[in-house]
Amino acid sequence: MRPLALSALLCSFVATAQTPIADARLLPTGTTVTVRGIVTNGGELGGIRYVQDATGGIALFPGAGSQGGFAPPRGADVTATGVLKLFNGLLELDPITAWNVHATGEPLPVPAVIAPQQMGEANESELVRMTSCTFMATGDFTAGTTPFTGNGQSGVIYLRSGHPLVGTAVPSGPVDLVGIVSQYSTSVPPVGGYQLLPRDAADLMPATGIAIIGPAQQHTIVPDGFTLQWTTNIGGTSQVAFGPTPALGQFAAAAGTTTAHDVALTGLPPASFHYARAFSVADGDTAWAPLGLYSTASAVPGHVRAYFNKSVDHDVALTVMADVLPNAFDDTVRAHIDAAAHTVDYAVYNTTFAGIAVSLNAARDRGVQVRVIAEGGTGNSALDDLHPDIPVLYRTDGQGSGMHNKFIVIDAEAAALARTITGSKNMTPGSFFSDANNLVIVHDQALARGYRAEFNEMWGGDGPLPDPVQSRFGPAKTDDTPHLYNVGGDLVEAWFSPSDGTAQRIAQALGTADHSVEFALFAFTHYDLADALIDAQDAGAMVRGIIEGDDMSTGLFDHLQDGGVIVAADQMPAYLHHKYAIVDRAHPTSAPVVITGSHNWSYNADNLNDENTLIMHSAAIADQYYQEWHARWGTSVGITAPAGTPSALRAWPNPARDVLRVQGDGAGRTPAELHVVDALGRTVHTATVAGTGPWNVPVAAFAPGTYVIVVRQAHGAARAVFVRE
């Protein structure tokens, strides 16, 4: 008779033919399979176990209906039978109907060395190692995701509640990360969401040898070159390999050894793109930055023009008054198409305004090469009127919103004529005249060439006709355009979805806020971006915004309010179709930023759709967008936090003219400081208040506009918004 413990260990065994894990991963979900492998984690990741054989890895989850007692230790040799299931993108066996532990204490598979962006389906559920990684966070690890960079690429680790690393110090220097590749994606079908699961402190090993900390940064972008800057953990050489193709072949270097590296590339043509890879050598060891694609500046200095089709508030202007084209967006777009001399590359989600087709046909008639890309699943009635010689390529895979771009590139190869038209509008009567939209026209050859490269990737080449075989849309695209441009002395960033990690870059831009963030968004469902706004609020910035109310995510709206963000639902009769945010508009020394383009703040926009985003570092442009935002805000304010919550204030009458009455949150704590802050973030009134009110606040001396009341007590701060008529 077998010992009782061994009998219990074997009780779940089922003699089913084993399938190599790599083959099992190719079978349809719902299939029952048997696999055998080495368990690579224990209870630190919860009840789930990841197993790996010589062909691949897979997750085993003892869900409902599983055979009981499944909790093998790390290093166990296990056979398991279960049903293939996708859980938020992660392929797993669930339920586990039978299992058997053959042995324990077996050697674990050797982790494959990969870069962060190589996490994907090919190595899902496998042990991997990433070298020379640096965490962007400081302090202690918390449950959830923590971003890191490794050799210039970005990724995230995920720690569940109760994980051994939660509450321990985040390493301040470079480490080699070991962990299991997992996936959490809520899109259908699942896209992206890959994350590394370290198991304990032993999976964070100090990096050995020279390592590059963070990505190489481009700066001093001039017509004949640019400079790359990077940091290493120890002193080393400063060298860059570069060239017109990924083969590189040319070299530049700076003298000496250092940890702070700067190498200038000179003698390059204007508005030209160059692949480059920074590297440093110390004691025979070489640290490489990832390959990057960079642009020089244009020979003709560029400039940006922003336009709005609804009223703006010039009274709050600090620099240049914003341009309003209430019934002329169509004329403006058509005028630029009508001025095209050589090429028009048109990539717009939907086109139903007949005049656009008239202008595209006229351009073709005078010898201009016209190419058109559109989304096949939405209205494009005006494109039916194009001349038969104008080729049109539709995206037709049905993923997300599909080809959701809104850009036109004109004369990209003519230095003095090149321009890019973008913004939030489609080419429809509603976008032109009814819905609130912004239009951006960037006169700059380098940026136009970058946008044209994105067009060519979708088109399948640079020829006059599309190549369906080479055409790439959505997740099939790669990050193959420069991101930084010098436009007339201002830095302008260009990002394309879903290949470029646009939402992460938007979050980083929001994270630069020192004083204020304002946003106006048509669709907002991306919780990571909501958390970025809450983080900015927590760091001391005043964060306010408007979301289109018709299809608003109420859960995210409540999440923002709970996080202290002052947010309102749009009250316009038509759509608020913007997708913009403004950072530190009234503080030039804090580097004001405007984020705009076609990219809604949604999961599909970041992972499925074709989208374009501009991040413009310009105090003047930020001021113009703020004038538009302030006008939209004026129609949407008057809200307070939900009644009965600890942070709720009531303020009436709203709008107010002489005296505003403010009611506290009912907690009755004293003392309290009441502050009134204007639209520029300046405190215009302070008072000490007692009890819960109501308190009288004199507002007759205030200039007309939007104000925020902040009452700070020992237990926190409460806010409300009011308008002074």
What burial class does residue 398 get, using C-beta atoms within 10 Å of its C-beta: 0-12 exposed, 13-18 middle, 19+ buried? exposed
| H, E, C per residue of 8-53 | HHHCCCCCCCCCCHHHHCCCCCCCEEEEEEEECCCHHHCCCEEEEC
Q: How far apart are CA 214 and CA 468, in angstroms?
A: 38
406 is catalytic: no
Looking up tokens 């709203």 gives 654
In what helix (H) or strand (E) does residue 504 lie, and over which residues does it extend? Answer: helix 502-510
Tokens of 170: 């985040």
Q: How far apart are CA 348 and CA 373, in angstroms?
A: 7
CA distances from 283 to 210, 255, 257, 287, 470 (A): 9, 16, 11, 11, 44
Find the catalytic residue in 570, 584, 623, 678.
584
Cβ partners under 8 Å of residue 291, min gap 6:
246, 275, 276, 277
579 is catalytic: yes
Q: How far apart are CA 625 and CA 545, in angstroms?
A: 13
SS3 478: coil
Q: How many CB atoms lie within 10 A of CB 391?
A: 16
584 is catalytic: yes
Looking up tokens 């995230």 gives 156
Name the β-bridge partners of 246.
Answer: none
Tokens of 49: 């176990």
SS3 503: helix
Cβ partners under 8 Å of residue 406, min gap 6:
347, 348, 349, 422, 423, 424, 425, 426, 597, 598, 612
* Residue 377 near residue 398 (C-beta atoms within 8 A): yes
Find the catalytic residue in 404, 477, 483, 577.
577
Find the catalytic residue in 310, 483, 579, 630.
579
CA distances from 239 to 152, 281, 289 (A): 16, 9, 11
Looking up tokens 């020829």 gives 463
Looking up tokens 């009780």 gives 11
Tokens of 135: 């965490």
* 384 DSSP 8-state letter: G
- Catalytic residue annotation: 577, 579, 584
